A and B are shown apart, each in its own frame.
Chain A
């Protein structure tokens, strides 16, 4: 559930702005046109933006969008349960999405005309249909209809959330992901749609630049996650570890495995089912924490089989989905417990990368 919170925050920060850049142009202008026509017909001055009548169509629009995306999430989750993605497939997906996001960011920053091709242009018949529907219908139907149609023009970040819904492999989880994301994106969308006429083109340009920079950062992170999940020796997080490596002594002495997390309530000892394994010559202990793995670098003797004990203690984050790409190991760890993974003998100098299934948290085992 903590991942849903992250998804919600992604929607609230980057999602709202990104969706706005893609869907805002057509839909909010059609909406505003509709609202202004209604208000003019009723003899109300359209310039009066503080009029509460403006809020209702936007709320209807966002509610329909929320319902449509939740349904789409359930469908994608169901699709993911039929076609379970392997870590390598997820890695490729993350990498491609990352490239797509970076390309879109460079397009929005107007770096080169070639990046325009990263923008999805809806087929002419679809945009014409949406536009005419918006103009020719009245009342509450239009915003509901337009809100539903936004699923056909998802923005870059929405598309990555759709991929996340597929990889969840569960209709309920898929629906929850897209619901959380769309809900998170709604406040920005509402605020901008509400004050649309007051936003000058200068402010709009600023918005686009902010979206571009957020997209660029998220795109780079997505590419990095893809590289991590594919077990690539080159990635930003691994580069960071090379620049600031842990001392081998710290790697051999991982205690305390579970430092007191201020956001985590103290774990009652009675619920701890198994004692924490101790580290020996052929056994390594790794803690899967809510914010990553500890230690991030383990040292193991070469040419000997190793038993890697991965311990969780009230762990709720994606670090529970433990992956060693080069050994095709994928273990979903319990919330609290220990999973022992056998690692065959490795030559001296070998480095085995491990990561969470999202490619966010990483670490490595060095054999020497």
Chain B
């Protein structure tokens, strides 16, 4: 099922961080879209939870050095 999740990422330090997080949509399977905003320290993902779990996504975010908290 396609679902949407919104996270707060308070360790984005510049807009390049947002672009880096958005880059996960090219790597992770089952992701339809990722929108990251440095201004709002917000990360929005639309994904297929039958392909990718929320935990896997959070692990991928952490592997880039960021910490996402569910809003």
Are B16 and A26 closer than 8 Å at their CB atoms? yes
Are B22 and A25 closer than 8 Å at their CB atoms? no
**B65 CB contact (under 8 Å) in A135, A201, A208:** A201
Are B16 and A24 closer than 8 Å at their CB atoms? yes
Knowing A25-B14, A201-B65, A208-B13 are in contact, say whether A119-B19 is a contact too (CB < 8 A): no
Are B38 and A119 closer than 8 Å at their CB atoms? yes
Q: Which residue of B lies closest to A131 (CB)?
A: B23
Are B19 and A25 closer than 8 Å at their CB atoms? yes
Name A's interface SS.
helix
Q: Which residue of B lies closest to A110 (CB)?
A: B13
**A122 CB contact (under 8 Å) in B13, B15, B23, B41:** B15
Contacts of B23 in A (CB 8 A): 131
Give the distance to chain A from B7, nearest Cβ to Cβ, in Å: 17
Contact with A along B15-44 (1 / 0, CB 8 A): 111111011001000000001011101000
Chain A positions 119-165 with a Cβ under 8 Å from a chain B Cβ: 119-122, 124, 127-128, 131-132, 135
Q: How far does the alpha carbon of A127 sit from the alpha carbon of B26 in the complex, in Å?
A: 12
Q: How far does the alpha carbon of A110 sit from the alpha carbon of B18 in the complex, in Å?
A: 16
Are B14 and A22 closer than 8 Å at their CB atoms? yes
Are B19 and A131 closer than 8 Å at their CB atoms? yes
Are A127 and B38 closer than 8 Å at their CB atoms? no
Knowing A25-B19, A26-B20, A201-B65 are in contact, say whether A132-B14 is a contact too (CB < 8 A): no
Q: How far does the alpha carbon of A23 sit from the alpha carbon of B26 in the complex, in Å?
A: 20
Are B18 and A121 closer than 8 Å at their CB atoms? yes
Q: Which residue of A lies closest to B26 (CB)?
A: A135
For the A-B complex, the count of residue pairs with Cβ-Cβ distances under 8 Å equals 50
* Most chain A beta-carbon neighbours within 10 Å: one of B13, B16, B20: B16
* Most chain A beta-carbon neighbours within 10 Å: one of B14, B26, B65: B14
Contacts of A213 in B (CB 8 A): none
Number of A residues near B (Cβ < 8 Å) is 24
Knowing A117-B39, A119-B38 are in contact, say whether A124-B20 is a contact too (CB < 8 A): no
**A128 CB contact (under 8 Å) in B14, B22, B39:** B22
Are A22 and B16 closer than 8 Å at their CB atoms? yes
Q: How far does the alpha carbon of A201 sit from the alpha carbon of B65 in the complex, in Å?
A: 9
Chain A positions 87-117 with a Cβ under 8 Å from a chain B Cβ: 108, 110, 113, 116-117
Give the distance to chain A from B45, nearest Cβ to Cβ, in Å: 13
Contacts of A237 in B (CB 8 A): none
Give the distance to chain B from A28, nearest Cβ to Cβ, in Å: 10
Give the distance to chain A from B68, nearest Cβ to Cβ, in Å: 17
Q: How far does the alpha carbon of A135 sit from the alpha carbon of B41 in the complex, in Å?
A: 26
Give the distance to chain B from A128, nearest Cβ to Cβ, in Å: 7
Give the distance to chain B from A307, nearest Cβ to Cβ, in Å: 54
Chain A positions 157-211 with a Cβ under 8 Å from a chain B Cβ: 201, 208
Contacts of A25 in B (CB 8 A): 14, 16-17, 19-20
* Most chain A beta-carbon neighbours within 10 Å: one of B14, B19, B22, B41: B19
Contacts of A23 in B (CB 8 A): 16
Q: Which residues of B contact A (CB under 8 A)?
A: 13-20, 22-23, 26, 35, 37-39, 41, 65
Q: Which residues of A contact B (CB under 8 A)?
A: 21-26, 29, 108, 110, 113, 116-117, 119-122, 124, 127-128, 131-132, 135, 201, 208
With A25-B20, A119-B14, A124-B35 known, 8 other A-B pairs at CB within 8 A are A22-B16, A25-B16, A25-B17, A26-B20, A116-B41, A121-B38, A127-B19, A201-B65
**24 intermolecular pairs with C-beta atoms under 8 Å apart:** A21-B16, A22-B14, A22-B15, A23-B16, A24-B16, A25-B14, A25-B16, A25-B17, A25-B19, A26-B16, A108-B13, A108-B14, A110-B13, A113-B41, A116-B39, A117-B39, A119-B14, A121-B18, A121-B39, A124-B22, A127-B19, A131-B22, A135-B26, A208-B14
Enumerate the 4 nearest inter-chain pairs by beta-carbon distance, A residue then B residue, closest first: A25-B16, A121-B15, A127-B19, A26-B19
